[in-house]
Amino acid sequence: MVVEWQQRDGAWFALVAYIIETDRVLVQQWLSAELLTRIG
């Protein structure tokens, strides 16, 4: 899930949150928008 968008030096980044089910851990991580795939 994308929590926040941010533009840095002309490039877009997304703060994403996802669950690692086997470890029961919620992870938040900044990723370059180029690594994301649009759905829907």
**Strand, coil or helix: what is 34?**
helix
User: Which pLDDT does position 38 carry in this prediction?
Assistant: 86
User: Which pLDDT does position 40 carry in this prediction?
Assistant: 85
Q: What is the DSSP string of the chain?
A: -EEEEEEETTEEEEEEEEEETTTTEEEEEEEEGGG-----
Distance CA 22, CA 30 (A): 22
Res. 34: pLDDT tops 90 = yes
| Domain ranges, ordered by start, for the chain | 2-35
What is the reported pTM? 0.78
**And the tokens for 33?**
């928008």
User: Which pLDDT does position 39 carry in this prediction?
Assistant: 87
Distance CA 26, CA 17 (A): 7
**pLDDT of 9-31, one tens digit each?**
999 999 999 999 999 999 999 99
